[in-house]
């Protein structure tokens, strides 16, 4: 066995360095192991499928809301027009009608021709 | 290890639930928040005289022919504009008349509009509120013009 000789300075630094490395190893061992995203997904296939399904639903919902498709079966009629109110002045007359076979509602104003 | 996965899973599910709720709250009625309404009017002169049907009327021409008994339909003007809710959009009509449209609400893709046709003396013989689905058209007709009448086709989007 070869003899090793240390200077007093090296001998003084030897033990603290050993302790520092031991403490460093403990700190690494104590650190929690974080699972990777891929590992989480493969370990939870139902969660992954549910996530994908939810994402698809959100995309469809966003698209439909931007296209304003939610109100297709709303209160307006088949032609998409509803006359909510018609206020007429004293000397005016109005007729609201929709011709058979057409999809357009008409508000017809009869002007007072007496003046 | 399993407990940390389960915790992460719960957090992910919670995040999706919150995101779903927020998206439904923000996007469904969102169309009415701070948006403008695009309005289009087609001012049509209809009369029993020569001239036929203006080709610029497009698909509206067929509905006009089915609805009215005029022989001539001419597109005089097709003003367009965008206004915010409760803001009035005004456009000039022939014979010193005015068309005023005020969008009041947007609900489920349906636009509620207050429509007024003002005469040259400032009177509005008719003040009507209509609810239009996006792309639908309502006709306001009757004001006399030259030898016929004016028909105004109004749509919103």
pLDDT reported for residue A47: 82
Query: Are B151 and B114 contained in the same domain?
Result: yes
pLDDT reported for residue A113: 61
Mean pLDDT of chain A: 78
Contact B99, B117 (CB under 8 A): yes
- What's the whole-number mean pLDDT along residues A88-102? 80
Query: Are B133 and B101 contained in the same domain?
Result: yes
Nearest to A62 among B16, B23, B137 (CB): B23
Query: Are B64 and B125 contained in the same domain?
Result: yes
Cβ neighbors of B156 (< 8 A, separation 6 or more) are: B37, B38, B39, B40, B103, B111, B113, B132, B134
CA distance A83 to chain B (A): 4
* HEC profile of chain A: CCCCCCCHHHHHHHHHHHHHHHHHHHHHHHCCCCCCHHHHHHHCHHHHHHHHHHHHHHHHHHHHHHHCCCCCCCCCCCCCEEEEEEEECCCCEEEEEECCCCCCEEEEEECCCCC
pLDDT digits (tens, 9 = 90+) for B121-140: 778 878 899 998 888 889 99
For B63-90, letters b (16+ CB in 10 Å) and e give bbeebbebebbbbeeebeeebebeeebe
| Residue B49 phi, psi (nearest 5) | -155, 175
Q: Which helix (H) or strand (E) holds B104?
A: strand B97-107
Going by pLDDT thresholds of 50, 70 and 90, the confidence category of residue B5 is: low
Cβ neighbors of B106 (< 8 A, separation 6 or more) are: B31, B32, B35, B37, B85, B112
pLDDT digits (tens, 9 = 90+) for B52-93: 889 999 888 888 888 888 999 999 999 999 999 999 999 999
A42 touches chain B (CB under 8 A): no
pLDDT digits (tens, 9 = 90+) for B28-54: 444 455 678 999 999 999 999 988 889
Query: Are B26 and B73 contained in the same domain?
Result: no
**H runs (alpha helix) in chain B:** 2-27, 60-67
Round to whole Å and give the CA distance between B26 and B10: 24
- Asked if A66 lies within 8 A of B27 by C-beta distance, the reply is yes
Query: Are B132 and B90 contained in the same domain?
Result: yes
Domain boundaries, chain A: 1-70, 76-115
Query: Are B3 and B41 contained in the same domain?
Result: no
Window A:43-62, CB contacts with B under 8 Å? 43-44, 47, 50-51, 54, 57-58, 61-62
- Interface-testing mutation among A90, A105, A113, with chain B (most B C-beta atoms within 10 A): A105
Of B113, B82, B118, nearest to B97 by C-alpha is B118
Query: Are B74 and B145 contained in the same domain?
Result: yes
Contact B73, B61 (CB under 8 A): yes
Give, as one character, the DSSP assignment of residue B12: H
pLDDT reported for residue A78: 60
Q: How many CB pairs under 8 A join A and B?
A: 155
Q: Which domain holds residue B132?
A: 34-156
Query: Are B61 and B138 contained in the same domain?
Result: yes
| Residue B113 phi, psi (nearest 5) | -125, 135
pLDDT reported for residue A72: 44
| Nearest residue in A to B151, CA atom | A108
Query: Are B46 and B15 contained in the same domain?
Result: no
Query: Are B64 and B23 contained in the same domain?
Result: no
| Nearest residue in B to A97, CA atom | B67
Kindly report the pTM of this predicted structure: 0.60
Mean pLDDT of chain B: 83
- Asked if B4 lies within 8 A of A35 by C-beta distance, the reply is yes
Task: Pick the range with the lowest mean pLDDT from A30-39, B45-54, B145-154.
Answer: A30-39
| Nearest residue in B to A53, CA atom | B16
- What's the whole-number mean pLDDT along residues A15-23? 89
- Total number of domains in chain B: 2
- Asked if B1 lies within 8 A of A33 by C-beta distance, the reply is yes
């Amino acid at each position: 066995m070869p003899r090793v000789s240390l200077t007093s300075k090296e001998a003084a630094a030897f033990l603290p360095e050993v302790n520092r490395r031991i403490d460093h190893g403990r700190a690494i061992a104590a650190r929690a192991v974080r699972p990777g995203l891929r590992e989480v997904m493969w370990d939870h296939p139902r969660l992954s499928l549910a996530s994908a399904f939810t994402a698809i639903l959100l995309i469809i919902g966003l698209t439909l809301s931007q296209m304003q498709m939610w109100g297709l079966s709303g209160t307006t009629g088949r032609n998409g027009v509803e006359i909510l109110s018609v206020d007429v002045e004293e000397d005016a007359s109005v007729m609201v009608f929709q011709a058979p076979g057409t999809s357009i509602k008409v508000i017809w104003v009869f002007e007072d021709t007496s003046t | 290890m399993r407990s940390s996965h389960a915790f992460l899973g719960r957090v992910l599910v919670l995040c999706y639930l919150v995101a779903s709720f927020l998206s439904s709250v923000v996007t469904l009625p969102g169309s009415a928040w701070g948006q403008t309404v695009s309005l289009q009017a087609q001012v049509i002169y209809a009369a029993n005289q020569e001239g036929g049907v203006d080709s610029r009327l497009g698909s509206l021409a067929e509905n006009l022919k089915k609805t009215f008994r005029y022989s001539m339909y001419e597109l005089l003007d097709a003003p367009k504009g965008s206004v915010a809710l409760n803001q009035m959009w005004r456009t000039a009509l022939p014979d010193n008349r005015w068309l005023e449209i005020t969008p009041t609400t947007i609900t489920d893709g349906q636009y509620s509009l207050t429509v007024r046709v003002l005469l040259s003396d400032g009177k509005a013989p008719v003040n009507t509120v209509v609810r239009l689905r996006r792309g639908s058209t309502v006709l306001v007709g009757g004001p006399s013009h030259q030898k016929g009448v004016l028909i105004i086709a109004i749509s919103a989007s």
